[in-house]
Amino acid sequence: MENNKKDPNSPANQEEKIISPAPSADEKPATAKKTQTNQSSTGKNKPHEQSKSTPTNQQGHRQSSSWWIRLGVLLSLVIAITATLGCYWLYLQLDKQDGSQAQLGKNISEQVKQNQSLKYEIQQVEMTSNKRLSTLEQQQLNDTKAYAKLAELQQSTKLLQERVNVIAQRSPNHWMASEAEYLVRMAGRKLWLENDPQTAMGLLQSADERISAMKDPALTALRKALADDINKVKTLKTTDITNTIFELDTVIDSLTLLPLNRANENFAKGSGTQPITNSIDDWQQNLARTWHDLTDGFITIRKRTTDLEPLLSPEQQWYLVENIRNKLLQAQLSLYRFDQTNYQQSIALADKWLQQYFDLTDPKTQQAIEALDKLAKVKIEKVTLNKFQASPLLQQLVTYGEIMPAEELAQ
């Protein structure tokens, strides 16, 4: 009971009034219910104190709730403005970032183009460098070959100079011996390659004159060998191949001018036929002669003892001339091969065709046949001399400056 009589204006009650939160509009029924509950809990003995304190509490609660509402609205407004500003700033940043990205993409594309252009230039430079490098390598290889060739030439020049120095120290007769050795070698070529013994004999005589001009008694054996070689060449019986070839060429060129053999159609007229006179008195005789000539010439029978061969067509004439030409060319080849059998067979067959198919009364045909008959008598003889006795002696003289004895050569 004593507790219920407390002063409503006491500090405790005032602190309770201040500390209690202000109820909102939705919480007023709950507050009223709570107030009633408190009133019921405090007792029924102080109705006047409750009636005095209720209006004051409600007024404080209203003031506190309005202040909190204003503060919340202000905070919400500040938050909304801040959010709006943040969104706008974020939009500006995104727009700026998009512009930066577009500019960056443009810069990247330009950089890519520049990189491609630079890459192409690098490839061109690389190709040029490779080409130049290959050129330099080839040039270096050529220089190496040239240096090697130059070294060989220098070595050959050195050896040649040494040989010239050695030769210069010899006697002047050495040059004449070298010339004689060269003449003997040329004589061998003329004799064995060109089958020309006359020129070969002249060359051997010239070599003997060079050796004789040296006036060296030690060269008697060499001069004797040269004399034996000259006598052997004189005794050789050889065929003049060159002159025979030229004669065959003349016959070949005349083949197209030879006339073919034709049948002789000119028969002699009968000698018993009398001519017709111009006298009128002889008209009966002239008429009889005319009738006789008409009846006798209507059917004529002539006898021929030889065979009548058919005429050749132009194509057959061409083949005939070419076959004869071919046989004469085979005869020329047989001359170069020293083949006597094939040579005579080719000449004989060509002569047979000329006599069979061409006009034998024509002078050109007769000349061609006479030339073939003369060529058919040519005998092809080979050179039996294989080497010269003077050749090894001349080689010793050129190499050693003198003719070495047989004992030293055997060693």
CB neighbours (10 Å) of residue 368? 23
Q: What is the pLDDT of residues 18-71, one digit of tens each?
A: 434 444 444 444 444 444 444 444 444 444 444 444 555 566 666 677 888 888
- Kindly report, residue by residue over 104-145, the tens digit of the pLDDT: 888 888 888 888 888 888 988 888 888 888 888 888 888 888
CA distance 97 to 363: 120
Instruction: Write down how long the chain is.
Output: 411
**242 contacts: CB under 8 Å, gap ≥ 6:** none
8 Å CB contact between 221 and 208: no
Report the C-alpha gap between 357 and 170 in whole angstroms: 73
The whole-model pTM stands at: 0.40
Q: How big is the chain by its Cα radius of gyration, in Å?
A: 73
Rounded CA separation 242/247 (Å): 9
Longest dimension (CA), the chain: 226
DSSP letters spanning 232-295: HHHT-----HHHHHHHHHHHHHTGGGPPBP-----PPPPTTPPPPP--STTHHHHHHHHHHHHH
Taking residues 366-377, what's their average pLDDT? 91
DSSP 405: P
Point out which residues pair with 260 in neighbouring strands. 358
Secondary structure (3-state) at 45 = coil
Confidence of residue 184 (pLDDT cuts 50, 70, 90): very high
Tokens 């067979």 identify what position? 345
Count Cβ atoms below 10 Å from residue 202 Cβ, excluding itself.
Answer: 16
Query: Number of helices (H) and strands (E), helices first, in the chain?
Result: 13, 0
Least confident of 12-16, 125-129, 140-144, 221-225: 12-16
The predicted model gives 224-247 an average pLDDT of 84
207 phi-psi bin (left φ>0, alpha ψ -120 to 50, beta other): alpha
User: DSSP letters along 291-312, please?
Assistant: HHHHHHHHS------S--PPPP
List all residues 6 or more positions away from 134 whose beta carbon is below 8 Å from its beta carbon.
none
Both tokens assigned to 187: 């004589």
Residues forming a β-bridge with 358:
260
List pLDDT tens digits, range 329-342: 999 998 888 888 89
Highest mean predicted confidence (pLDDT) among 160-169, 236-245, 325-334: 325-334
Rounded to the nearest 5°, which phi and psi values hold at 358? Answer: -115, 160
Give me the helix-helix angle, 390-400 and 197-214, nearest 10°.
Answer: 40
- Nearest to 260, CA basis, from 169, 337, 336, 354: 354
Instruction: With beta carbons less than 8 A apart as the criterion, state whether 382 and 207 touch.
Output: no
DSSP letter at 2?
Answer: -
Residue 293 · residue 273 · CB < 8 Å: yes
CB neighbour list of residue 119: distance below 8 Å, 6 or more residues apart: none
